[in-house]
Amino acid sequence: MLNILPQLIANGLIIGAVYALVAAGFSLLFSTNRHLHFGHGAAITAGAYALYFTLTERRMPISSAIIIALLAAVLVGWLCFVLVYYPLKKKHASAVVLLIAGIGLLIFFENLFVLLFGTDVKVVDYIAVTKGLTILGAVITKLQLFMIAVSLALLYGLFLFLYKNKYGITMRAIANNPELAVLIGIDKTKFYHLSFVIGSFLAGVAGILIALERNVEPIMGTGLMVEGFISAVIGGVASVPGGILGGFILGIVENLGIGFLPSGFKGAIAFTILFIFLIFKPMGLFGIRKGTRGD
């Protein structure tokens, strides 16, 4: 057990980097829009399939493939907002209605991808499998190091945006007190749009990274989103830094868990953590009570 410990932690950090991207987007969307965006998983899958289609089927260069994949992810996320969430919000639908609509969106897109690409697993096969580097007793490939680097860089960028940029600060102001934000003349709707673009962009990156490292299948977005969501709960749903930390925690705990249990129980480990947090610490590590419990 001890000799595989570094490897398990390394694996946890790698997947945790992806969870953190999803969770950061999820938290950003939740704190700005005040409802859970289940369609988030669709943006992940859209990014991954767009990459597969452009890179592997159409043989486009990697740079344009990545741009198209990101655009696809942003488009799917933004469409969820424009076509479904925004009209619902205008009718003053409750957060629960938005959540159910989001599940509908998720299933809709998941099946759209099944219809377009089939249920079989697609391999992007762009980066040849190389021998990994050994770092502190764990074998890590260059791609995996790249994944962690990309994730950390983007999350740092998100942090700079939220805390240093004028628009980011306004977005946090809306998250903090929407009524007050409107009173001082902030156009909330503009920032709803912006939050969906940024959140879906991060989801698209997560989809691309997973597509490059593993493979592409229709249910990937749902799975990743669930894990990203649990990460967000661990950190406190409305807190972006909390979501990032939660992502890494979940990644490591899951991988340590697989060290003891059969790998099929990975999902169960994640949900056990979810239940523990929901029951004992529903506000998460950094959460603030913000109407998340319906009050």
Q: Which residues bind other proteins (CB under 8 A)?
A: 35-36, 84, 87-88, 91, 93-97, 99-101, 103-108, 110-112, 114-115, 118-119, 222, 226, 229, 233, 237, 262, 264-265, 267-268, 271-272, 274-275, 278-279, 282, 291-295
Q: Is 226:22 a contact under the CB 8 Å cutoff?
A: no
d(CA 273, CA 230): 8
Residue 294 beta carbon to other proteins: minimum distance, rounded to whole angstroms: 2
Residue 285 beta carbon to other proteins: minimum distance, rounded to whole angstroms: 16
Nearer to other proteins, 117 or 159 (CB): 117
Q: Is 14:148 a contact under the CB 8 Å cutoff?
A: yes
Nearer to other proteins, 53 or 109 (CB): 109
d(CA 120, CA 132): 28
Residue 119 beta carbon to other proteins: minimum distance, rounded to whole angstroms: 8
d(CA 261, CA 70): 36
Residue 174 beta carbon to other proteins: minimum distance, rounded to whole angstroms: 18
Neighbour-count burial of 265, counting CB atoms closer than 10 A to its CB (0-12 exposed, 13-18 middle, 19+ buried): middle
Nearer to other proteins, 43 or 65 (CB): 43
Q: Where are the beta strands (DSSP E) in the chain?
A: 133-135, 138-140
Matching residue, tokens 């452009």? 54
Nearer to other proteins, 185 or 262 (CB): 262
The conformation of residue 129, written as its DSSP 8-state character, comes to P
Residue 93 beta carbon to other proteins: minimum distance, rounded to whole angstroms: 7
Neighbour-count burial of 34, counting CB atoms closer than 10 A to its CB (0-12 exposed, 13-18 middle, 19+ buried): middle
Q: Is 122:214 a contact under the CB 8 Å cutoff?
A: no
Residue 119: strand, helix, or coil: coil
Nearer to other proteins, 95 or 256 (CB): 95
Residue 2 beta carbon to other proteins: minimum distance, rounded to whole angstroms: 26
Nearer to other proteins, 112 or 152 (CB): 112
